[in-house]
Chain A
Amino acid sequence: MSRRRLVTVLLVLGVVALFAVPLALDRGRSDYSGTDSQVTAVVEQGDPDYRPWFSSVFTPSSSEVESGLFALQAALGGGVLGYVLGRLRGRRLAERARADGDRAGPAREDGAT
């Protein structure tokens, strides 16, 4: 394995470990609720007279629908990101093939003469 590839693998493992280790150590004691809902509770507790004066124009009807929409957002972003990286890589490989072709062309002529 090249050093470059090794570094990539280690970086990916680092990211996975960063989020997997807390989950594994925790053993189901925490519910991992979102910080936004926790903050909403803090506001209600610290400022009990406050009433939210506007509600969302559209609220997903269940947490399943909400997860699905979050997944859709991630899929859209991941799709575009993958498309861009794929195009950039294809472009580089095409340029390299063209450069190799230019170099190989005259060399073959030299061999023929």
Chain B
Amino acid sequence: MHIAEGFLPPAHAIGWTLAAAPFVAHGARAVVREVREHPESTLLLGAAGAFTFVLSAVKLPSVTGSSSHPTGTGAGAVLFRPPVMALLGTVVLLFQALLLAHGGLTTLGANAFSMAVVGPWVGYGAYRLTRRLGGGLLPGVFAAMALADLATYVTTALQLAWAHPDAATGFPGAAAKFLGVFALTQVPLAVGEGLLGVLLFRALLANARPDLERLGVVAPQPEEAR
């Protein structure tokens, strides 16, 4: 769940917009370059964008008695590296801000920073770390999806705490309150998102192995093993 329209003071709104803008611009260039140099990537780029589109539309119940939605940004970060998701995630946020009154235009910068920048990068880091430690593709995807999701909401909670420190306890008190709402609710959702990511990549492994090899996600296999 994103920060609602108007709920960041103007200075924060402008600051986060300025912070997110270069990432989104760089991401837009990364998408254009990928499509121009590898037109065969267009299908998988569409899949990565569509995955985020579906997952961020579905509000799921959590054990905490509240509901929230996953982000789905980890899949694209694993396939195409995080910059691509900076654009795709922001497109999703813009759609929701304009049509659904979910999130907002004044908070678009802050929400893009958490969902389209921090989430994909943390997810990608978790993926690389898992692979470095000898984990396979699917455990790596699980870690990427789950941690991209969690990191997004932890960032949102901290952004809110910074903008609205508690009257008595200041930033730490407010952070604890916002994390209590966002991060706790998100834990089962992050696990579910990790499982959905594994399902997606199993489908891709079965049907698009050559693309995954070209993107360097799986090692090329000898012909007879396919």
CA distance in complex: A53, B66 (Å): 27
Q: Which B residues are in CB contact (< 8 Å) with A80?
A: 46-47, 49-50, 53
Q: Which residues of B contact A84 (CB under 8 A)?
A: 43-44, 46-47, 50
- A66: which B residues are within 8 A, CB to CB? 100-101
- Taking CB atoms, residues of chain A closer than 8 Å to B211 are 88
| Nearest CB in chain B to that of A82: its residue | B50
Given contacts A84-B47, A87-B43, A92-B207, contact A32 B54 (CB under 8 A): no
Grouping DSSP codes into helix (H, G, I), strand (E, B) and loop, the A interface class, with mixed when no group exceeds half, is: helix
Bitwise interface map of A from 82 to 102 toward B, beta carbon under 8 Å scored 1, else 0: 011101110110000000000
Known: A8-B202, A56-B5. A15 touches B192 (CB 8 A): yes
Q: Are B100 and A60 interface neighbours, CB within 8 A?
A: yes
Across-interface contacts of B65 in A (CB, < 8 A): 26, 29-32
Q: Which of B1-31 contact A (CB under 8 A)?
A: 1-7, 9-10
Question: Which range contains the number of A residues in contact with the other chain?
Answer: 35 or more
CA distance A43 to B104 in the complex (A): 16
Q: Do A18 and B53 have beta carbons less than 8 Å apart?
A: no
Q: Is the CB of B105 within 8 A of A57?
A: yes
What residues on B are CB-neighbors of A6 within 8 Å?
none
28-47 of chain A: CB within 8 A of chain B: 29-40, 42-43, 46-47
Q: Chain B, interface size: which category?
A: 35 or more
Which residues of A47-86 are within 8 A (CB) of B?
47, 50, 52-60, 66, 69-71, 73-74, 76-81, 83-85
In the complex, chain A residues whose CB is within 8 Å of the CB of B104 = 54, 56
Among the 9-residue stretches B55-63, B118-126, B127-135, B213-221, the one with 4 or more Cβ atoms under 8 Å from chain A is: B55-63
Pick the contact of B10: A8, A42, A53 (CB < 8 A).
A53
Contact string against A for B residues 116-157, beta-carbon threshold 8 Å, 1 for contact and 0 otherwise:
000000000000000000000000000000000000000000
Asked whether, in the complex, the Cβ of B68 is within 8 Å of the Cβ of A35, the reply is: yes
A35 touches B1 (CB 8 A): yes
CB of A19 within 8 A of CB of B60, answer yes
Contact of B167 with A47 in the complex, beta carbons under 8 Å: yes
Residue of B nearest to A18 (CB): B192
| Residue in B53, B102, B199 whose beta carbon sits within 8 Å of that of A36 in the complex | B102
22 A-B pairs (CB sep. < 8 Å)? A19-B188, A32-B62, A34-B1, A39-B1, A43-B160, A46-B174, A52-B7, A53-B10, A53-B106, A54-B6, A55-B5, A56-B104, A66-B101, A70-B58, A73-B54, A74-B58, A76-B50, A81-B51, A81-B54, A84-B44, A92-B206, A92-B208
Interface residues of A (CB under 8 A from B): 7-8, 11-12, 14-15, 18-19, 22-23, 26, 29-40, 42-43, 46-47, 50, 52-60, 66, 69-71, 73-74, 76-81, 83-85, 87-89, 91-92
Using a CB–CB cutoff of 8 Å, the interface residues on chain B facing chain A are 1-7, 9-10, 43-44, 46-47, 49-63, 65-68, 95-102, 104-106, 160, 164-167, 174, 177-178, 181-182, 185-186, 188, 191-192, 195-196, 198-199, 202-204, 206-208, 211
